[in-house]
Structure 1
Amino acid sequence: MDETTDRSGSNGHDTRSPTATVDKAPETRPSGRIDRAVAGASVGILGLFVVLALILPAEMSSWVGAAFTACANIFGMYWQVLLLATFLIALVLIFTPWAKARLGNQAHPDFNRFSWIAMIMTTLLAAGGVFWAAAEPMYHYATAPPYFTNDGHSGFDAVAAALATSFIDWGFLAWAILGSLGTIVMMRAAEKGMPLRPRSLLYPILGARAAKGPVAGIVDVVCVIAVAAGTIGPVGFLGLQVSYGLNSLFGIPDVYPVQLLVIAVLTAVAGVSVFSGVSRGIRFLSSANIWMALALMAAVLVLGSAWFVIKSYFSGFALYMTDFFSMTLYRGDTEWLSGWTVFFFGWFLGYAPLMAIFIARISKGRTVRDLLISTTVLPPIATTFWFSVLGGTGIFLEQQTEGSISGPLMDGGLPAAVMAISDNLPLSTIISIGFLILTMTFVATTTDSMSFAMSQSCMTSGEPSPKLRATWALLIGITAAVLISLGDGGVEALQSAIVITAVPVAFVMLPSLFAAPIYVRQMAKEQNLA
């Protein structure tokens, strides 16, 4: 059974047969009204950024770069502590009896466990599931991180160090900020009549006043801009990567029209998924992504060196665990941190409010323990293994032939990493095409799910219509297409901008630290579980 739907109202008692199936998706609910002020301001600010990038590309890049550096230096430590605290509180909550409480006043989930976790995982991993998993471990292997070289760590295993550093960036802390405490606060606020919008994350301190006023509108706009920047970047990189791959495989010119065509196809796929609804479109794409990723992972393990990858994974994960706190809170080289750990932490923070909206939308009927384990524990373990398979295989191939992976990576950047790995494996053409398709579907899933969250953030009531969601998906595609016409610099400037928007977003997420445990205990008492 793929899906069940609660029809019992708010009392949490299901009246259906346990084997009932559902024909109508939740998207059949009437659409609500659009908050034109929030939608207009969000589109306007994004449009202004694009216009300035086109008219004054050098100046815009310089301004964004200076602001990015300042934000990373001033707020980097706060972000590190915030993400660490979020993870630790989520971890403690898992083991409390309160965690049996069900979310959303619903007795049964809308989606089966596989579909649910697949939607959660692929929404985030699209941003880096292929780009960074192939490239980041190789970067850290080629140039050891300063945590290991500057702080008296002698005789460290370079492979384990490279993987452990990648795990810090993409592991437990990233997933915790994206899907744990913020989601609980969002769902509890919704139970109290608050909208599924970023402003509801301020409910713990403002109460019902969080739903109205200029502060509420500013919070929504900032969060929409942050996630737009974080989604447009991967779409732009997708155009660059697929174009690079087609050139490498078939000799098709790596030129802007090809990149534009790739983005157009991606936008069309996301658009079709939008009109299929969350229960069909996103669920189908997410499940397909997981099965395709598993198949490619198995192929890379068999065709590369499964023993090297498995051995490297355990050594890297062991180092990640033993040095977890010191690596997470490392401040020894702020310039390096702004390019890696702090950059990623800012990126994930930018996604956090809208990820909370999306996960809240698909998690009704789940227990708190379900939610926390399935966002804070299982996906990070799967992600670190995925990074070990792709990045670890790249390191293995580099050890066999020096420069075989690092050379293309340094020359061609992110798009070159996964292609270089594929080129050095048997059945390289099939593997390369598989990764290009996987990257496309990964990013299409994120475009679809985040267009839902952005649209929801612009609603005064109800759920967004497919037309509004498709409009946001189209705007994402158009913006990415315009920015890559400037070269890598346009997309990179936008990705740096998400770190700037993470400054106010990090304060929006702060109340979740104390509010989530309180709300979990309240729900448990209301459900006679505590």
Structure 2
Amino acid sequence: MSILTSEDKIQDSNLEHALRFLHVITGNEESNNERIVLSMNTKLIDWPTFIGALVVLLSVTIPLILFPEAGAEVINMANTFMTGNFGVLYMIMGLLAFVFLIYVAFSKNGKIKLGNKDDEKEFGNLSWAGMLFAAGIGSSILYWAMIEWAYYYQGPPFGVTPESNEAIEWASTYGIFHWGPIAWAIYTLPALPIAYFYYVRKKPVLKISEAVRPVLGKLVDGPLGVIIDVLFIFGLMGGAGTTLALGTPMIAEGVHHLTGIPVTLGLQAGIMLLCTLIFAVSAYSGLRKGIKVLSDINLWLALFILLFIFVFGPTIFISDTTLSSIGTLADNFFRMATWLEPLGNLAGFTQTGFPESWTVFYWAWWLVYAPFVGLFVARISRGRTIQEMIFGTMIYGTIGSILFFGIMGNFGLYLQLSGTFDVISHMDEFGAPAAIIAIVNQLPMGSIMVGLFTILAIIFLATTFDSSSFILASVVQKEIQSEPMRWNRLFWAFTLCFLPLVLLFIGGLETLQTASIVAGFPIIFIMALLAWSFMKASSTDIKETNNYKSPTIHINRKEKK
């Protein structure tokens, strides 16, 4: 086992610094030990994946920099083609992922423990829930929870009249649906094989390609494996661009409200750099000292803001509307999960484009992020059973989304319906980020709450990116015993910011987001391979264990009295 990846030995960077210090005080021009360590350091990198990911990213971003308008047009055409012609595949994938996970949770495979028999849970339930929620959602939920209802209110689904009573019902429900059980099922599915191979079969590798080895065999050791991992990295970079595209202007509006500094590209670039610094320090500190601490702060601050809005806002309206929305979702879950406006192209019917613009787009967005979130959920789930990981992710994630959309969204809806503040007019005139800050400012102690909301958005953005850099570094290493190397984590932390920062100045962030969703189309089929791989590997091991041939797994069973 390499000294560079073991928790109980010196970290790679500390050892490297120590050797360099020894070189200085001894006056030696070169140290054999230093050369050995640096050689081992670089040998741990999966260079084809590392370089391949950078080549793909640059091959997309450089044309966007040189030819922004033409590049954006081509990518938007590809996105329209994908969502318009293959939307049904995204919808089927989301529904099947949800049904598959429910089946696994109640099967023998769901009782498998991730780790050894005596392993305790690495993280408590609250910290675990906070980390997975912050990684999977990020600051985007602050953006959409506050304002998504306004889009549904003006352009509702199912042919409903805009701004009608029925439109109000769907406006308060569809956000919970899009960020609810299916979204978290899409996130959770990749975690099954990844966690299984890492904690049960003891494979010290956190790669999507490795997770499909039971199906593809030695093919993952060649170009196909590199392509799978590179597609994941590119999708994650584009998804990160989406998060920055939404979060940065909202944070900038908060800073503008508090300080009066005009919202400019310079301010937004400064915010990006600040967030990069925060998550770079967090990523450098590691999983326990950095990411966990930041996620815990994020969780408690979010709960405080939600509780404040609930108590000092229209409490009864929020409670009643949220509960009604949950009921509406339960009654119409499968209708919403399968509706693709089939009559929209026929004579006499008006096509709104709602499914493609919202549900298909969201499923594609979750799909792009799914391998990353799956990798992260797998990494933090040691000591839990497969069933606990499935239900924990889906239930905690959905509850968190209900709280945000139920409290923040319905507060904004109340302001609109009661005439207290015309959210829609403000949004039409100044844009959605300004409308979000204006909604928060309607609370008691408005400026203080805007300040806390802005801080929360920064931390949310940072927690998403430190988790992302952790996982990206893991994917480009051949072996992970505890955590990826620090220089590797820092490299991806700054890469995550650099490309979106360049695209910000040419107005190409949304184009990068769209490009990632187009490139993420093959992940639909990779998801099927991941499900197949998990069932094949775990079922084989269960059979061997029951036959006392190779008791390599621990299955939780109730003791008979």
Normalised to the residue count of structure 1, the TM-score between the two structures is: 0.89
Q: Which runs of 5+ in 1 are unaligned?
A: 1-23
Instruction: Look up the match of 1:206.
Output: 216
Instruction: Look up the match of 2:190.
Output: 182
Q: Look up the SS of the partner of 1:340 in the other structure.
A: helix
Once the two structures are TM-superposed, the CA of residue 327 in structure 1 deviates from its matched residue by 0.6
Q: Please tell me whether the aligned partners of residues 80 and 329 of structure 1 are also in contact (alpha carbons under 8 angstroms).
A: yes
Q: CA RMSD in A?
A: 2.4
Once the two structures are TM-superposed, the CA of residue 211 in structure 1 deviates from its matched residue by 3.7
- Counting only pairs closer than 5 Å after superposition, residues 445-524 of structure 1 correspond to structure 2 as 445-462=463-480, 463-487=483-507, 490-521=508-539
Structure 2 residue corresponding to 1:138, chosen from 139, 147, 150: 150
Once the two structures are TM-superposed, the CA of residue 372 in structure 1 deviates from its matched residue by 0.8
AA at the equivalent of 2:410 = G
Structure 2 residue corresponding to 1:76, chosen from 60, 70, 87: 87
Residues 1:351 and 2:369 are matched in the alignment = yes
Q: 1:305 to 1:414 in 2, by over 3 A?
A: same
Once the two structures are TM-superposed, the CA of residue 458 in structure 1 deviates from its matched residue by 0.9
Once the two structures are TM-superposed, the CA of residue 514 in structure 1 deviates from its matched residue by 3.9
- Counting only pairs closer than 5 Å after superposition, residues 9-48 of structure 1 correspond to structure 2 as 33-48=44-59
Structure 2 residue corresponding to 1:196, chosen from 174, 182, 206: 206
Give, in whole Å, the separation in 2 of the partners of 1:105 and 1:74: 46
Instruction: Look up the match of 1:129.
Output: 141
Instruction: Look up the match of 1:17.
Output: none
Give, in whole Å, the separation in 1 of the partners of 2:402 and 2:555: 38
Structure 1 residue corresponding to 2:132, chosen from 114, 120, 124: 120
Instruction: Look up the match of 1:5.
Output: none
Q: Please tell me whether the aligned partners of residues 404 and 420 of structure 1 are also in contact (alpha carbons under 8 angstroms).
A: no
Once the two structures are TM-superposed, the CA of residue 27 in structure 1 deviates from its matched residue by 9.6
Once the two structures are TM-superposed, the CA of residue 528 in structure 1 deviates from its matched residue by 5.3
Q: Which stretch of structure 1 is more off in the superposition, 192-201 or 223-232?
A: 192-201
Q: Please tell me whether the aligned partners of residues 252 and 271 of structure 2 are also in contact (alpha carbons under 8 angstroms).
A: yes
Residues 1:87 and 2:98 are matched in the alignment = yes
The Cα offsets for residues 475-503 of structure 1, whole Å up to 9 and x where unpaired, read as 1112222122123xx11111112211221
Give, in whole Å, the separation in 2 of the partners of 1:528 and 1:34: 34
Instruction: Look up the match of 1:527.
Output: 554
AA at the equivalent of 1:89 = F
Q: Look up the SS of the partner of 1:157 in the other structure.
A: helix
Q: 1:26 to 1:141 in 2, by over 3 A?
A: farther
Q: 1:390 to 1:119 in 2, by over 3 A?
A: same
Q: Please tell me whether the aligned partners of residues 27 and 278 of structure 1 are also in contact (alpha carbons under 8 angstroms).
A: no
Give, in whole Å, the separation in 2 of the partners of 1:158 and 1:408: 20
Once the two structures are TM-superposed, the CA of residue 521 in structure 1 deviates from its matched residue by 4.6
Structure 2 residue corresponding to 1:279, chosen from 272, 288, 313: 288
Q: Which runs of 5+ in 2 are unaligned?
A: 1-5, 13-40, 342-350, 547-552
Once the two structures are TM-superposed, the CA of residue 48 in structure 1 deviates from its matched residue by 2.9
Give, in whole Å, the separation in 2 of the partners of 1:202 and 1:216: 9
Number of residue equivalences? 500
Give, in whole Å, the separation in 1 of the partners of 2:246 and 2:395: 28
Q: Look up the SS of the partner of 1:459 in the other structure.
A: coil
Instruction: Look up the match of 2:35.
Output: none
Residues 1:230 and 2:257 are matched in the alignment = no
Once the two structures are TM-superposed, the CA of residue 402 in structure 1 deviates from its matched residue by 7.1
Q: Please tell me whether the aligned partners of residues 153 and 163 of structure 2 are also in contact (alpha carbons under 8 angstroms).
A: no
Normalised to the residue count of structure 2, the TM-score between the two structures is: 0.84
Instruction: Look up the match of 1:331.
Output: 340
Q: 1:295 to 1:26 in 2, by over 3 A?
A: farther
Give, in whole Å, the separation in 1 of the partners of 2:219 and 2:197: 10
Q: Please tell me whether the aligned partners of residues 144 and 162 of structure 1 are also in contact (alpha carbons under 8 angstroms).
A: yes
Residues 1:239 and 2:248 are matched in the alignment = yes
Once the two structures are TM-superposed, the CA of residue 154 in structure 1 deviates from its matched residue by 13
The Cα offsets for residues 227-252 of structure 1, whole Å up to 9 and x where unpaired, read as 01101222243332222222233311
Instruction: Look up the match of 2:440.
Output: 422
Give, in whole Å, the separation in 1 of the partners of 2:133 and 2:315: 24
Give, in whole Å, the separation in 1 of the partners of 2:407 and 2:9: 38
Q: Which stretch of structure 1 is more off in the superposition, 333-342 or 213-222?
A: 333-342
Give, in whole Å, the separation in 2 of the partners of 1:26 and 1:72: 49
Residues 1:57 and 2:68 are matched in the alignment = yes
Q: 1:232 to 1:349 in 2, by over 3 A?
A: same
Q: Look up the SS of the partner of 1:460 in the other structure.
A: coil
Give, in whole Å, the separation in 2 of the partners of 1:448 and 1:242: 18
Give, in whole Å, the separation in 2 of the partners of 1:393 and 1:60: 39
AA at the equivalent of 1:301 = F
Give, in whole Å, the separation in 1 of the partners of 2:556 and 2:283: 38
Q: Look up the SS of the partner of 2:44 in the other structure.
A: coil
